[in-house]
Chain A
Amino acid sequence: MPASRKIHLRPTPFCYVLAGLLFAMWLSAINWENNLGLLVLAMVGSVAVVSAVHARRNLADLEITAGKVFPVFAGQYASLIIQTRNRKGHDSYDLCFDSPPMPQVKIPAHLAQLPAGSHRSCELIVDAHSRGRHEVPGVRVSTLYPLGLFRAWFWQPLTLNYLVYPQPAGSQIQPEHFAKMGWYSSSATLRPGEEFYELRPYLPGESLHHVAWKLVAKGRPWLVKEFATDGLEHPIFDFSHLSGEDVEQRLSQLALWIQESHQDDNLYGLRLPVIYYPPSSGEEHYHRCLTALAIYETEEKRKARKRRHHSRSSKKR
């Protein structure tokens, strides 16, 4: 926390109203040479000025730290916890926290009272509309206390990161059901309980049992048929196996499957083009998978890649 930060002061519209009224009164007091009127006028003006000092004092010596943030799904609200400690000898009132660089801040946090020496936490409610890792650069702490004629505020840089998982949505059926319905079982060699998974290149020294001989006969290279047997009979949610073009839709579908499986306490794995998590279960696995979905090639990244690709191809031409 910087030792002294700049506390800004700004009159509220009510202050301007009061100033206008006082100006009118000033004219009339001068007109009637009403000296006592001028004194009381000065009194009201001074009250306003002194209140500005109190507004600044209200914000002095506040220590603001970021609290833990729990990830949410897109479309939900994330709550960012802000811890405030009052390090002065008197209470602070009416503290409002928002973050103007973040238009998605839905509900600013508010602390009605912060007694001297104590600390409180409050929540900044953020509209999490898109997946990914988001960053709040800081919070603006403002107060209207004590009279509402001036608003004092300062900017507190903070590293408040929050993660937004893709919104769980989609209508496709989980892959474990695929096998049961036999969509993939074009090969008759599949025994009950075995699920044909995929073909991979043959590695020397491997058993020849699962080599796809039919393909070899057709002149293809040696490939091995992989089956999900005993330990492998749990679904692996694969990004590349999902139909549909839209990346976001596919990620949403994966998120839905992961969520459902997690709720049913099933084991599941996740395969993305860049990452593979073998089937497992539990909170940690759940969040690891969803995090992978959240940070998978965000919109900006994709655009940047496309641009790069485009420029390269144009160069070739």
Chain B
Amino acid sequence: MKISGPFHKPAESISRGLVYWPIASLAYASVPFIFHLSWRGSLFICLLILWRVYLEFRRLNLPSSWITAPLVIPFLAILLAEHHTIFGEEAGTLFLIGLLSIRLLELHTVRDYMITCITCYFLVVVSLLFAQGIIMSVYLFTAILLVTVSLIHLHMGSNLRASFRPALRLGMKIVVPALPLALFAFVFFPRFQGKLTLEYHSIKIGVQDSLEAGNIAQMKKDNRLAFRVEFANDQCPVSGELYWRCFVLNTTDGWRWWNGSKNRQMTGFKERPGLKYTQNITLTPQVQRWMVALDYPITIPTGALMCEGQILKNNLYGASKRQYTVVSQPEQRPQDLSPETQRRCLMLPRTLSPLVKRLVGRWKTKQKPPEALATEALRFFRDHQFIYTLDPEPVEGQDALVDFLFRQRAGFCEHYATAFAILMRTAGVPARIVTGYMGGEYNPYGRFYAIRQDHAHAWCEIWIQNKGWVRMDPTAVLAVKNPTPKALLHAAQQGMSVEGQASSLPSPRPSLWRQPAWWTKLSRAPRLWWELAEIQWNRWVVGYDRHSQEKLFKHLGMTQFRWLAVLAAALGGTAVSGALAAAWLKRQGKKADHLRRSYETFCSNLAAAGVKRKKWEGPCDFTRRAALAFPLQAEQIRRIGLQYTRLCYGTSPTEKALVKELTARIKKLGIPKAPVN
């Protein structure tokens, strides 16, 4: 007999009032994207949602496709005006949200409802491409709960008010057990090598080979991973010394900085006694063609070149190298100063303000050595209330430097680096700018440093006779003055000097409204805790990647046949948990089984004695009849009947003890073989 066949489709239209749930889900899941959309687009979507709510509220007819379909055009226009495309992760997602909102107007079938909710799940996952903080994650968790509750509502019945509580309870019952399962999958599900040739031009990672105002500020707002580094033998410098050099820029027009000299190739250096760090560097698939190394690389990885300024460049065209090992020695400063380089490193912008010259002239009066001049410059920054901020007022044009030095006195690393370099050049000291990254987040599972885009940094090097190019980081002196809690935490956790991390941290922007002292005091402790939580989150959750997983597996002894082992473990785990669940369900069934079997024994005992249960007879009727037939055991029989009825048909779930008691009672019941008449 064929007992499987097509299932009946559920009623096509959803009941009234139910539509608020997918609307709410969509609105809730779209909130993280609102920040990526202009006010016009947001307003458009809000209006669509309000329109649909209004239609439902006033019980009006839904518009036909002839009205809703053309609504795509204005939304598309808004999107194209801002993003110039509808592909790519950002524009594509926004387009999807727009389509869903338009589709809401016609939403009235079960299918639309389901598709909307499922797409909301999708949106929840997509929003993680844009932000990965703790608040965001908690928000997304609640979004998953809301979408789940919406789906439950669809299948729970139409009585809206009555079913809200059970739906919410059930939603929790689904989402909360899903959490450990998800964590298990997160930790143990095999990760694969990245880079699937999905690439959008807007998503390139890395520093650029020229410096312009705003370059780095933009990178600071991006927390994507740029590269990660493992140190051989766990020998790594303190975090304050983690300067990753990428490019050396020696030429300027006063505004832009770039490398003007021809790439002169260098050979490697001999290892000298002293500190030595061997780094194993893995670049994220999305980085452009550059290579990074800790100050100062002495070996040249295969497939790479070393260029002037002791920087590494990718030699391979096409297939760029992503994983390499390089040895660095902090004492091996670049020693090269060709006449051409010297000329370039002393070049000043054509329109240098006399104010700057006068300032430097004041320092130079005593014909100080370059170190002393640099100290003077750093002191100037420190003593004149210079502030670190990622959103300075834009300074442009000829007077940018003067404006920065004498008026605004707020900026971030690239402002300080450029200003410092020009001050040094004015003083006659060859100076250049180095761009790259500074610091890094230590990942305790993988024992590696993760360097993100927001670690991007720019600093200076000045030429000192007999010493070579000496690193000078003017940004670092600022932080000493007003360290932020996050910097302190970083410092405490990574055992580093406070100066080190400061550069990647914006201090609050100076504003007219100052926070009252009591508020600062009161909010300090929670803020510290919050920042600690954020750091831990980044370390333990966001930072748990393929490398961490491999390390963890290695740690667990899963080195050989790793994939097989993991797969086997996953399958085995699933099988075991499935078997446990099945056993549990079976036991539940058995409990009911016990009860039934006892009752059957009881019936067959009575049948043997001559009172046979008729097929249609329920326990009440049967025991009443049996009690009449056996007056001596009447009380017992009646009690058995009552107890069985209660256990079998009562609302309370069957309890083991009670079932046992009944079984015992049935056993004890002695009935003669022939009925007593």
- Chain A residues close to B by CB (< 8 Å): 3-4, 8, 14, 17-18, 21-22, 25, 27-47, 49-51, 53-54, 56-57, 60-61, 85, 87-89, 91, 93-94, 96, 98, 100-101, 108, 112-113, 116-118, 137-138, 140, 142-149, 151, 153, 155
The 10 A-B pairs with the shortest beta carbon distances in the complex, nearest first, are A100-B5, A117-B651, A46-B178, A89-B653, A46-B181, A42-B185, A42-B182, A43-B182, A112-B157, A37-B128
A244 to chain B, nearest CB (A): 38
Given the complex, which residues of B lie within 8 Å of A35, measured CB to CB? Answer: 186, 541-545
Given the complex, which residues of A lie within 8 Å of B221, measured CB to CB? Answer: none
Given the complex, which residues of B lie within 8 Å of A153, measured CB to CB? Answer: 7
Q: Are A54 and B144 in contact (CB under 8 A)?
A: no
Central interface residue in A46, A54, A96, by most chain B CB within 10 Å? A46
Partner of B137 from A22, A36, A148 at Cβ < 8 Å:
A36
CB-CB contacts below 8 Å: B158-211 with A? 158, 166, 170, 173-175, 177-179, 181-183, 185-186, 189, 191-192, 194-196, 198, 203
Partner of B129 from A32, A43, A94, A116 at Cβ < 8 Å:
A32
Supposing A32-B224, A61-B592 touch, asked if A146 and B125 sit within 8 A by C-beta, the answer is: no
Given the complex, which residues of A lie within 8 Å of B119, measured CB to CB? Answer: 21
Instruction: Report Cα–Cα, A8/B156, bound state, in Å.
Output: 20
A297 to chain B, nearest CB (A): 26
Supposing A25-B125, A33-B284, A53-B581 touch, asked if A14 and B115 sit within 8 A by C-beta, the answer is: yes
Q: Are B125 and A40 in contact (CB under 8 A)?
A: yes
B543 to chain A, nearest CB (A): 7
Given the complex, which residues of A lie within 8 Å of B585, measured CB to CB? Answer: 56-57, 60
Whether B104 is near chain A, meaning CB under 8 Å from some CB there, is no
Q: Are B192 and A30 in contact (CB under 8 A)?
A: yes
Whether B86 is near chain A, meaning CB under 8 Å from some CB there, is no
B283 to chain A, nearest CB (A): 11
B258 to chain A, nearest CB (A): 30
CB-CB contacts below 8 Å: B100-137 with A? 110, 114-115, 118-119, 121-122, 124-126, 128-129, 132, 137
Partner of B285 from A31, A118, A140 at Cβ < 8 Å:
A31
B553 to chain A, nearest CB (A): 16
Given the complex, which residues of B lie within 8 Å of A148, measured CB to CB? Answer: 110, 114, 151, 154-155
Whether B10 is near chain A, meaning CB under 8 Å from some CB there, is yes
Q: Are B192 and A147 in contact (CB under 8 A)?
A: no
Partner of B156 from A25, A30, A146 at Cβ < 8 Å:
A146
Given the complex, which residues of B lie within 8 Å of A137, measured CB to CB? Answer: 1
B653 to chain A, nearest CB (A): 4
Whether B589 is near chain A, meaning CB under 8 Å from some CB there, is yes
Q: Are A36 and B541 in contact (CB under 8 A)?
A: yes
Whether B89 is near chain A, meaning CB under 8 Å from some CB there, is yes
Q: Are A33 and B194 in contact (CB under 8 A)?
A: yes
Given the complex, which residues of B lie within 8 Å of A113, measured CB to CB? Answer: 156-157
Q: Are A31 and B593 in contact (CB under 8 A)?
A: no
Q: Are A51 and B8 in contact (CB under 8 A)?
A: no
Whether B2 is near chain A, meaning CB under 8 Å from some CB there, is yes
The chain B residue sitting closest to A91, CB to CB, is: B166
Q: Are B7 and A142 in contact (CB under 8 A)?
A: yes
Given the complex, which residues of B lie within 8 Å of A18, measured CB to CB? Answer: 118, 121-122
Q: Are A21 and B121 in contact (CB under 8 A)?
A: yes
Given the complex, which residues of A lie within 8 Å of B89, measured CB to CB? Answer: 28
Whether B25 is near chain A, meaning CB under 8 Å from some CB there, is no
How many pairs, one residue from A and one from B, have CB atoms within 8 Å of each other in the complex?
A: 204
Supposing A25-B126, A146-B156 touch, asked if A4 and B186 sit within 8 A by C-beta, the answer is: no
Q: Are B178 and A50 in contact (CB under 8 A)?
A: yes
A51 to chain B, nearest CB (A): 6
Q: Are A32 and B286 in contact (CB under 8 A)?
A: yes
Whether B3 is near chain A, meaning CB under 8 Å from some CB there, is yes
Supposing A30-B194, A36-B128 touch, asked if A3 and B593 sit within 8 A by C-beta, the answer is: yes
Given the complex, which residues of B lie within 8 Å of A93, measured CB to CB? Answer: 155-157
Instruction: Report Cα–Cα, A28/B155, bound state, in Å.
Output: 32
Supposing A27-B198, A91-B166, A93-B157 touch, asked if A36 and B542 sit within 8 A by C-beta, the answer is: yes
Instruction: Report Cα–Cα, A32/B181, bound state, in Å.
Output: 23
List 16 additional contacts besides A30-B196, A146-B174; criterion CB under 8 Å. Answer: A21-B119, A33-B225, A35-B544, A42-B183, A44-B124, A56-B585, A60-B589, A100-B3, A112-B157, A112-B158, A117-B649, A140-B3, A145-B152, A146-B170, A149-B151, A153-B7
Supposing A38-B186, A145-B155 touch, asked if A44 and B196 sit within 8 A by C-beta, the answer is: no
Q: Are B182 and A46 in contact (CB under 8 A)?
A: yes
Instruction: Report Cα–Cα, A202/B429, bound state, in Å.
Output: 149
Given the complex, which residues of A lie within 8 Å of B4, measured CB to CB? Answer: 8, 100, 140
Instruction: Report Cα–Cα, A54/B170, bound state, in Å.
Output: 9
Given the complex, which residues of B lie within 8 Å of A47, measured CB to CB? Answer: 144, 148, 174-175, 178
B425 to chain A, nearest CB (A): 41
Q: Are B185 and A101 in contact (CB under 8 A)?
A: no
Whether B596 is near chain A, meaning CB under 8 Å from some CB there, is yes
Q: Are A51 and B129 in contact (CB under 8 A)?
A: no
Q: Are B118 and A96 in contact (CB under 8 A)?
A: no
Given the complex, which residues of B lie within 8 Å of A25, measured CB to CB? Answer: 122, 125-126
The chain A residue sitting closest to B1, CB to CB, is: A101
Instruction: Report Cα–Cα, A40/B648, bound state, in Å.
Output: 43
CB-CB contacts below 8 Å: B532-559 with A? 541-546
Q: Are A43 and B179 in contact (CB under 8 A)?
A: yes
Q: Are A144 and B10 in contact (CB under 8 A)?
A: yes
A65 to chain B, nearest CB (A): 11
Whether B590 is near chain A, meaning CB under 8 Å from some CB there, is yes
A200 to chain B, nearest CB (A): 45
Given the complex, which residues of B lie within 8 Å of A87, measured CB to CB? Answer: 592, 648
Instruction: Report Cα–Cα, A38/B137, bound state, in Å.
Output: 12
Given the complex, which residues of A lie within 8 Å of B173, measured CB to CB? Answer: 54
B92 to chain A, nearest CB (A): 11
Central interface residue in A3, A50, A108, A146, by most chain B CB within 10 Å? A146
Instruction: Report Cα–Cα, A85/B650, bound state, in Å.
Output: 11
Q: Are B178 and A14 in contact (CB under 8 A)?
A: no
Whether B357 is near chain A, meaning CB under 8 Å from some CB there, is no
Whether B263 is near chain A, meaning CB under 8 Å from some CB there, is no
Q: Are A37 and B125 in contact (CB under 8 A)?
A: yes
Q: Are B122 and A108 in contact (CB under 8 A)?
A: no
The chain B residue sitting closest to A56, CB to CB, is: B585
17 contacts between A and B (CB under 8 A): A8-B4, A21-B119, A22-B122, A31-B196, A32-B194, A35-B542, A36-B128, A40-B128, A49-B178, A54-B173, A87-B592, A100-B6, A112-B156, A118-B651, A145-B156, A146-B174, A148-B114
Q: Are A40 and B140 in contact (CB under 8 A)?
A: yes
Whether B256 is near chain A, meaning CB under 8 Å from some CB there, is no
Given the complex, which residues of B lie within 8 Å of A30, measured CB to CB? Answer: 191-192, 194, 196
A43 to chain B, nearest CB (A): 4
Q: Are B129 and A37 in contact (CB under 8 A)?
A: yes
Supposing A113-B157, A117-B650 touch, asked if A51 and B174 sit within 8 A by C-beta, the answer is: yes
Instruction: Report Cα–Cα, A56/B581, bound state, in Å.
Output: 11
Instruction: Report Cα–Cα, A244/B269, bound state, in Å.
Output: 116
Whether B588 is near chain A, meaning CB under 8 Å from some CB there, is yes
Whether B586 is near chain A, meaning CB under 8 Å from some CB there, is yes
Instruction: Report Cα–Cα, A153/B181, bound state, in Å.
Output: 25
Complex interface bits, B636-672 against A, C-beta within 8 A gives 1, otherwise 0: 0000000000001111110000000000000000000
Given the complex, which residues of A lie within 8 Å of B177, measured CB to CB? Answer: 46, 50
Instruction: Report Cα–Cα, A230/B224, bound state, in Å.
Output: 106
Instruction: Report Cα–Cα, A100/B5, bound state, in Å.
Output: 5
Instruction: Report Cα–Cα, A282/B48, bound state, in Å.
Output: 66
B288 to chain A, nearest CB (A): 16
Given the complex, which residues of B lie within 8 Å of A94, measured CB to CB? Answer: 155-157
Q: Are A34 and B170 in contact (CB under 8 A)?
A: no
Complex interface bits, B1-44 against A, C-beta within 8 A gives 1, otherwise 0: 11111111010000000000000000000000000000000000
Q: Are B152 and A147 in contact (CB under 8 A)?
A: yes
Instruction: Report Cα–Cα, A22/B182, bound state, in Å.
Output: 14
Supposing A40-B125, A40-B128, A145-B156 touch, asked if A14 and B224 sit within 8 A by C-beta, the answer is: no
